[in-house]
Amino acid sequence: MSRLMQIAGILMVAAAVALLLMIFFSLSSLIAWGITPELPVVLLVGGVLATGLGSVISALEARNAGVAADMAAAPSIPTFGRAPPAAATTSEEVSAHVSETIKALEQAKVELRQAIGEEETSAVPTAAEPAAAEAPAEEAPAGEEAQLYVVEERSIRGRSARILSDGTVEAETDEGWMRFENLEHLDEYLDATSLAQAR
């Protein structure tokens, strides 16, 4: 393409020079053919531009040849088959982080239950209660290993409840689904919430 532009530019410049010489020697014959004096000037400018564009195109082609060599050295696109081992270690780190969060949430839930139980029974906390709060948090991972399943579904005080295989009870409350240690704790919670709503 660049050679074609350069050759066309050279031919246009040569035609412009020939027409300029003919204008100087026999202007009347060129006017009879319909060629005006502006045509050689247009051909000269067009020839110079075409030659310049040909040079620019050849420079770009030479530059692109070097870029193509650099692009060939670039790494190939990864395959989307199996995940690389690095991704597996990342998922283990995430699962460890998630398990820590779950432990913290379970401990907060136990502390909240104890706080509700303390308000009903006594206002003075004892030193044994924080140790009791830590023990269920440590037992939680062992309980997570055994898979829970629903033993029985029933309605308690007009609310849906499920008795699970480990003896705990999940019940629908005003705050959403909550898990209780047993049916007695669920009854205590429902009594406390009904008293709070009655006030």
In a domain, 180, yes or no: yes
Q: Please state the pTM of the whole predicted model.
A: 0.32
- Of 14, 43, 72, which one is at a domain's C-terminal end? 72
Residue of 60, 179, 189 lying closest to 109 (CA atoms): 179
Whether residue 124 is found in the same domain as residue 175? no
Q: Which of these three, 22, 54, 72, is where a domain ends?
A: 72
Tell me if 118 is assigned to some domain.
yes
Return the higher-pLDDT residue of 134 and 44: 44
81, part of any domain: no
Instruction: State yes or no: pLDDT of 134 exceeds 70.
Output: no
**179-191 average pLDDT score:** 88
The answer to the question of residue 104 being in a domain is: no
Of the candidates 137, 142, 167, 138, the residue with the CA atom closest to the CA atom of residue 152:
167
Q: Total structural domains in the chain?
A: 3
pLDDT of residue 3: 84
**Judgement on whether residues 177 and 156 belong to the same structural domain of the protein:** yes
Query: 14 falls in which pLDDT band (50, 70, 90)?
Result: very high
The answer as to whether 97 is a domain residue is: no
Name, in order, each residue with C-beta under 8 angstroms of 145's C-beta and a sequence gap of 6 or more. Answer: none
Same domain, 6 and 53: yes
Structure tokens at 101: 């969060």
SS (H, E, C) the chain: CHHHHHHHHHHHHHHHHHHHHHHHHCHHHHHHHCCCCHHHHHHHHHHHHHHHHHHHHHHHHHHHHHHHHHHHCCCCCCCCCCCCHHHHHHHHHHHHHHHHHHHHHHHHHHHHHHHHHHHHHCCCCCCHHHHHHHHHHHHHHHHHHCCCCEEEEEEECCEEEEEECCCCEEEEECCEEEEECCHHHHHHHHHHHHHHHHC
Q: Quote the pLDDT of residue 121.
A: 45
106 part of a folded domain: no
Judged by phi (left if over 0) then psi (alpha if -120 to 50, else beta), residue 10 lies in alpha
pLDDT of res. 13: 92
Distance CA(107)–CA(92), nearest Å, equals 23
The domain containing residue 50 runs over which residues? 2-72
127 band by pLDDT with thresholds 50, 70 and 90: very low
11 with 59, same domain: the answer is yes
